[in-house]
Amino acid sequence: MRIELEVWRQDGPDQRGRFAKYVVDDATPEMSLLELLDRLNDQLVAQGIEPVQFESDCREGVCGACGVTVDDRPHGPVPKTPSCRQHLRAFGEVSRLRIEPLRSAVFPVVRDLVVDRSALDRVIRAGGFVAVDAGTAPDADQLLVTHDDAELALDYAACIGCGACVAACPNGSAHLFAGSKLAHLALLPHGALERGRRARAMGKVLDAEFGPCSSYGECVEVCPAGIPLTGVAATHRERLRGFFRGKAD
């Protein structure tokens, strides 16, 4: 396969970026997007050109580090699939691709396709955790959780924090990301004592750094973990609960 690529190149956060055109003549349908970038970089290094910088880790759809924008869509054309699991065979008769970073004002470009997603980390630091007493492990049946609640909590906990939902949202909202964290912790007894404080603290970060949610739903279509729109509803529900309960929890 011959693939013509337009790839975003940017030397640093304060440098002006531009699209550069390349050609990979020996691409195969089995290649993932990251493998296509690997092949491109092999060519560039052989030519003495600086390779394209991009992030990846597990390459199994688990870590969320690989997120890029392909033809104006976060991660790529296959719905609910991370960039590392987007294979050329699924694109049809593709011969040209435009690859750029995840686009959001809250994700400044570090270099080429690498963006700074630390704003998501600040949401987690604000309240995406539970405080437990260290020491002897509790009995397995000390905290009872129903099967349905456990399964639903795991569904929300599947969020990998890739940031595609923010890049897809016209408002740059992180409500789906925050809602998945709030929902999965609200369903479990371990975080019950901090539930209100968690919602208020994470809500402040959302208001300060991200845009508001208008329920467009684009976030759901690109989420690799398949977090439903009820994740957004969880953000609103938990924040309202925290507001009305005040300092009760």
Tens-place pLDDT, residues 32-45 = 999 999 999 999 99
pLDDT of residue 82: 96
Separation CA 162–CA 154 (nearest Å): 17
- Strands, E, within 36-162: which ranges? 69-70, 73-74, 96-100, 109-111, 114-115
Tens-place pLDDT, residues 171-224 = 999 999 999 999 999 999 988 889 999 999 999 999 999 999 999 999 999 999
Q: What is the mean pLDDT of residues 13-28?
A: 96
Q: Is the pLDDT of residue 249 over 70?
A: no
51 — pLDDT class (breaks 50, 70, 90)? very high
215: Cβ–Cβ under 8 A, 6 or more apart, which residues?
229, 232
Q: Please, are residues 205 and 123 in contact by the beta-carbon 8 Å criterion?
A: yes
Within 10 A of 202 (CB to CB), how many other CB atoms are there?
Answer: 27
247 — pLDDT class (breaks 50, 70, 90)? low
What residue segments make up the domains of the chain, in order of their start? 3-111, 117-248
Separation CA 182–CA 184 (nearest Å): 6
How many percent of the chain have pLDDT more than 70? 99
Read off the tokens for 143: 């905290």
Residue that wins the pLDDT comparison between 161 and 139: 161
Tens-place pLDDT, residues 228-242 = 999 999 999 999 999
CATH of domain 117-248: 1.10.1060.10
Q: Please, are residues 171 and 214 in contact by the beta-carbon 8 Å criterion?
A: yes
Separation CA 117–CA 111 (nearest Å): 13
Q: For domain 3-111, which architecture applies?
A: Roll (3.10)
